[in-house]
Amino acid sequence: MTKQFISDIASDGKKVEGLFALKFKKPPVDYKNNKQGKWFEMRLADKTGEITAKYWGNDEQKTVEIYDSFSRGCVVALSGTVQEYPKGSNNFSISVDSALDTLRVCDSSEYDISDFVATTPKDVDSMLVEVQSILESVKNKDLSRLVKSFVLDKTFMELFSKTPAAMEYHQNYVGGLLEHTLNVMKIADNVCGLYPELDRDLVVCGAFLHDIGKMSELELSGTLIGVSHEGMLIGHTVIGHDMVAKKISGIDDFPVTLKLKLLHIVLSHHGKKEYGAPKVPQLPEAVVVHYADDCDTKVDIFVRLKREANTDDSWVWDKKIKGHVYLE
């Protein structure tokens, strides 16, 4: 079956035939008008996005059997029809009619995993060299010892190099966390060049460590990027705080005030409590890391929206930013 990406689905009434990863499914339910059979809803995904699909079955037993054959992360082959509701909303779903269309589980030999989980387009080894080069320039001996304890941890660095930066918001692909972290470090470092009063060592170390909790928050499971139980219940900000605090506890005579400043940067990097920050920035260095993080996140989103826009219009509206992006 020919692969059709979700980002290509943008026309009401168009036929769809492709392979998609199953994020979740809802149990089959009866029709409301006493019609025989059952229907169920699925959330499907690939590396370009997500879409809802509904299977309309006319045979109750067969519908239940198809439903039971699916599990989270499996790849399904389907054919169906695109529906836009309400009209003009750009809110598309796929309708699968059991009498006309197909829906089945795929064997692993039928698909390429790269269609579902993308990889950073940048060279991972080169980015690691850049990260380490910036950290090697840290002059504060205590911060230098701390970041070296992370860099020399092969297990940590391997996972750090593979983890996505987000599930779908920005740099949501293998290597995304490394790419995002390096960008934040470089942005923050440049700001330090404008403000010599800043503690540059604290800024770049905080930038390096600000998102490491995502290594436990996000999971790569087959064809999907998901959120772990720990990530859902605790969140990467607090997880990252605990990871840094644990490393510091293994370093003799680490200054208490320096520890508090660094942990504050990790806890406040989202900027506002409504955005998941346990604390708002109270240090100029924390402000730098917060805005460097926010800058890279938003620029990545805008650049990708412009690059992937499938329209001849001059603007595209996106729900992630709740606004328009100018394309010309």
Cis peptide upstream of residue 86 (ω within 30 degrees of 0): yes
Sign of CA dihedral 265, 266, 270, 276: negative
Mean of the pLDDT values across residues 222-247? 94
Residue type, 195: Y
> How confident is the model over 154-191, as pLDDT tens digits?
999 999 999 999 887 789 899 999 999 999 999 999 99
Domains of the chain (ranges; CATH) run: 6-115 (2.40.50.140), 124-307 (1.10.3210)
Three-state DSSP string of the chain: CCCCCHHHCCCCCCEEEEEEEEEEECCCEECCCCCCCEEEEEEEEECCEEEEEEEECCCHHHHHHHHHCCCCCCEEEEEEEEEECCCCCCCEEEEEECCCCCEEECCHHHCCHHHCCCECCCCHHHHHHHHHHHHHCCCCHHHHHHHHHHHCCHHHHHHHHHCCCCCCCCCCCECHHHHHHHHHHHHHHHHHHHCCCCCHHHHHHHHHHCCCCHHHHEEEECCEEEECHHHHHCCHHHHHHHHHHHHHHCCCCCCHHHHHHHHHHHHHCCCCHHHCCCCCCCCHHHHHHHHHHHHHHHHHHHHHHHHHCCCCCCEEEECCCCEEEECC
Q: Residue 270: phi, psi to the nearest 5? A: -85, -10
Strand 38-46 vs strand 49-56: parallel, antiparallel, or unpaired?
Answer: antiparallel
172's tokens: 């949501």
Copy the structure tokens of residue 53: 């699909």
Q: Rounded to two decimals, what is the model's pTM?
A: 0.81
| Mean pLDDT of the region 34-49 | 89
Interatomic CA distance for residues 33 and 180, integer angstroms:
51
For the chain, give the percent of residues with pLDDT over 90.
73
* Range in 170-184, 234-248, 304-318 with the lowest mean pLDDT: 304-318
At residue 2 the predicted structure's pLDDT band, cuts being 50, 70 and 90, is low
Mean pLDDT in the chain?
A: 93
Residues in the chain, total:
328
253-256's contacts with Cβ under 8 Å and 24+ in sequence apart are 254/142, 254/145, 254/146, 255/142
For 203-232, write each residue's pLDDT tens digit: 999 999 999 999 999 988 778 888 999 999
Residue pair 80/16 in contact by the 8 Å Cβ criterion: yes
State pLDDT tens for residues 108-119: 889 888 888 889
